[in-house]
Each structure stands twice: as C-alpha cells, then as structure tokens.
A and B are shown apart, each in its own frame.
Chain A
C-alpha cells in the first residue's frame, strides 16, 4: 500500500532563506505528484503538479522535482517570505490522491 512521508514535520526559518521540503513515497508506480499549500483553517491550494514523465515543474519562486526511481520529490522555495508561512502537503496520484502529513513552515521577518 502506498505511503507518503514528508520531512521535516515543521520548519522555522528567517526571511530570505532558500528552502527544501521533502516528500517520499513507497511505490514508484505513480502517475503524478501534486504539491499543495494549506493556510490554517482553510482549504488546499494547488501549487504544482508533476506528471510521472516529467522531472520538474516551476512556478515563480517554487520549483518541484520528481525522482520516481528513488521515490522522492522536493519542493524548493527561493527567497522565502513571511507570506510563505503555511503547511505544505504533497500527494501522489493513483485513482485518487494519497497525502503525506505535511510540513508546517514558518518564515519570520
């Protein structure tokens, strides 16, 4: 059964740092991987989707990579800002999505 793990569970950094959030999955036969952002008490906002045939996707200061063979994805956030503070979730796609437990990020001024 597919299991998705995110490390670290929480991260607190000063503004301006470049960050790497990690996501690992146990079954490499995935179809796509999606990164989401969740603000406290809110729904999920889709950040990036990487198809299984792709190696990475970029949107603004965000870059997500996918290595299916090793069962890993990373989300890179460049020049972090306080507004980036949120929980970041990754999910792998089978018929539906299987989620990790998230990384709670705090960026302080």
Chain B
C-alpha cells in the first residue's frame, strides 16, 4: 500500500521542549516537503529536500530543523525557538523536485503547545 505516513497524529508539547514529527514515504519519490497550516491561512512551506542529504529553507524555517538521511524519511524537529508552534503540520512528496511535479500529501500531525 503506497503512500505517505505521518506520526503521531496528535502531539502535545510543553514550553521549552523540542519535538520531532515523523514523515515516511514508500513512493520512491526524490523530493519531500514540510508545510504548516494555521486556521484561515493557506499552507506555508517550512523546509524541502530535493535529494538525500540536502535540504533548503522555505518561507518560515525559523525555529525548525530537518534531516534527510534516507530517501524515504524526512523528519521535522520543532525546537523551543519556535515561539508559536501550535498548528497542523503536513508532509508531502513528489517524484522529482521542480516545477512540473505533482505533490502528494500525508494525513498530517496536529501539534499543540500546553
């Protein structure tokens, strides 16, 4: 069953904690992306990776970090430097990076700061 999985579905963070959101895909896609969604706003890009061991900042990268050690995995860490992390986080992938490639999305992780 091919697709993108994200875990956990719900995550609660205390002030000052770092937390890591998991994203795995078995589509053999080269490119992976992390977006943040806030109520009433469109999705905003946090980081993206076009290939293993390479990634680029998106529009709102401050307070976040990523790694891409394996093709199928692109975890996102929300650090204590992110002042307003409560949001819905979506991971996506595409066969290749670039302008013509269709992106497919995972089910999302809802992060809440206590």
Contacts and interface: CB of A to CB of B under 8 A. Distances in A.
Nearest to A44: B105
Contacts of A102: 42
Given A41-B110, A42-B107, A43-B108, A96 B45 contact: yes
A95 B101 CA distance: 9
A94 interface: yes
Interface string A41-62: 1111110010100000000000
A97 B108 contact: no
B42 A4 contact: yes
B100 A51 contact: yes
Interface residues of A, number: 25
Contacts of B102: 32, 34, 46, 49
**What is the size category of the interface that chain B forms with chain A?**
20 to 34
A93 B100 contact: yes
A101 B40 CA distance: 7
Contacts of B106: 43
Nearest to A100: B42
B105 A43 contact: yes
A95 B98 CA distance: 5
Given A32-B99, A41-B110, A44-B90, A97 B43 contact: yes
Interface of A: 4, 31-32, 34, 36, 41-46, 49, 51, 89, 91, 93-102
Given A43-B105, A91-B42, A101-B40, 10 more contacts: A4-B42, A32-B100, A42-B108, A43-B90, A44-B43, A51-B100, A89-B43, A93-B101, A95-B99, A100-B42
Interface of B: 4, 6, 33, 35, 40-45, 48, 58, 88, 90, 92, 97-108, 110
